[in-house]
Amino acid sequence: MSSSERYARQIRLPQIGPSGQERLQQSRVALIGLGALGSVSADALCRAGVGTLVLIDRDIVELSNLQRQTLYTQADAERGELKALAAAERLGAINPEVKLEVHPDEVHCGNAASLLDGCDLLLDGSDNFAVRYLLNDYAVVHQVPFVYAGVVATYGMSGAVLPGQACLRCLWPEPPQLGETETCSTAGVLGPAVAVVAGWASSLAMRALLEPDFVAEFTSLDPWHSRVHHMRGVSDPACPCCQEHDHPWLEGRRDAPTAEAACAGNAVRLPGAAIPDLEAVARLLEGAVEKLQCTHSFLRFEVGEHEVLLFASGHRLVRGTSDPARARSVLAATIGH
């Protein structure tokens, strides 16, 4: 099978053409998170013939993923396969011309350089704000295009941070506090909404690789209510990240995941930002978790075989595992942090 036959329909596009196809094949793209958004984006970029895909995900495939995470099968869920490995198997079968680098890990300030250095683009499929702000720091410091995306319920958003243009912190100087945003566990998520947002993000990624001077807009999309809204990303002259050169997530001074989690028996204790309103968090979790209990100083609930305690002072305790990555997955899937 000839390579030009595989890509014939996209080479016919004047926006791509033979030279654009060659550039895609020389590109190296990191996919950070291979859940719902990452599944769709990885599939699109693999089929488009991006030369190297760096696949980064710490989680295993679970039955509740299959409604929207299109790379995985029932057999993957029954085996409890690592998403990075299951994704690589599927993508390798789709297009063996693409080189795949597999990292069943989470990105944090300690390993960002080894995972991301040498990439031409970062594509966000993460499930939490700490990783998104860490990637923003990295993208600004290393002048690498970064496409971000998020989806919950029936709506989502996507945009791109391109060298010299507005960054994530120009638009949102601080990530939302715990309790201010819904997650897929608390609000649910529509599979086609994921496909729409991830399709948008994949298209931004191809544009950033082929026409890096395009002016990226921030776009919110809600296919269920037929709503699309664009916002021009305007650089903030007081932006702490791209103007003041402060990169606390990349330097490990903010709540980016770190390797330092304290394990105590069959439990993991994790640091975190103080939670000003535990009751707001409890309201979001109602119905999504079991045995929810809220006091003035902590919030307690159960999810699957895990018991979670969130303390107003900030630290979190996840019982039922001694694996810090698993504990962070449980927290990300329920509270999004």
The tokens describing 85, both together, are: 């490995």
Stretch that binds Zn ion, among 31-39, 60-68, 166-174, 311-319 (CB under 5 A): 166-174
Q: Are 24 and 17 in contact (CB under 8 A)?
A: no
Please, what's the b/e burial string for 285-299 (b: 16 or more CB within 10 A of its CB; e: otherwise)?
Answer: beebbeebebeeebb
For Zn ion, the closer of residues 231 and 263 by Cβ is: 231
- Of residues 149 and 162, the one with the C-beta less far from Zn ion: 162
Q: Is 135 in the site for Zn ion (CB under 5 A)?
A: no
Our finding on whether 241 is near Zn ion (CB under 5 A) is yes
Q: How many CB atoms lie within 10 A of CB 99?
A: 12
Handedness of CA 31, 199, 328, 177 (dihedral sign): positive
Report how far apart, in Å, the C-alpha atoms of 328 and of each of 276, 292, 294 are.
20, 19, 21
Q: Nearest 10 degrees: CA dihedral of 132, 80, 303, 285?
A: 40
For Zn ion, which is the closer residue by CB, 40 or 242?
A: 242
| Residue 142 CB, nearest approach to Zn ion (Å) | 15
Q: Which of these ranges, 125-133, 146-154, 165-173, 183-191, lies near Zn ion under the rule CB under 5 A?
A: 165-173
Selected range binding Zn ion among 106-114, 129-137, 240-248, 316-324, rule: CB under 5 A: 240-248
Q: Does 169 bind Zn ion (CB under 5 A)?
A: yes
Q: Is 289 in the site for Zn ion (CB under 5 A)?
A: no
Q: Does the protein bind Zn ion through residue 239 (CB under 5 A)?
A: yes
The residue range among 73-81, 198-206, 231-239, 252-260 that interacts with Zn ion, by the rule CB under 5 A, is 231-239
Q: From residue 308, how far is each of 179, 184, 188, 316, 326 by CA, in Å?
A: 16, 18, 20, 7, 12
Nearer to Zn ion, 233 or 324 (CB): 233
The span of 62-70, 92-100, 160-168, 176-184 binding Zn ion (CB under 5 A) equals: 160-168
Q: Rank residues 32 and 168 by Cβ distance to Zn ion and give the closer one.
A: 168
**170 near Zn ion (CB under 5 A):** yes
CB 82 → Zn ion: shortest distance, Å?
A: 34
Residue 216, interface with Zn ion (CB under 5 A)? no
Site stretch for Zn ion (CB under 5 A), options 13-21, 233-241, 267-275, 283-291: 233-241
Site for Zn ion in 75-134 (CB under 5 A): none
Least separation in angstroms between residue 117's CB and Zn ion is 22
Select 7 or 133, whichever has its Cβ closest to Zn ion: 133
Degrees, nearest 5: CA angle 199-202-204: 110
Q: Does the footprint of Zn ion cover residue 242 (CB under 5 A)?
A: yes
Number of C-beta neighbours around residue 19 at 10 A: 10
Nearest to 30 by CA among 48, 19, 45: 45
Q: Which is nearer to Zn ion, 243 or 322 (CB)?
A: 243
Reduce the DSSP state of residue 208 to 3 states and report it.
helix
Beta pairing partners, 101: 54
Could you give the CA distance from residue 6 to residue 284 in angstroms, rounded to a whole number? 46
| Interface residues toward Zn ion, by CB under 5 A | 167, 169-170, 239, 241-242
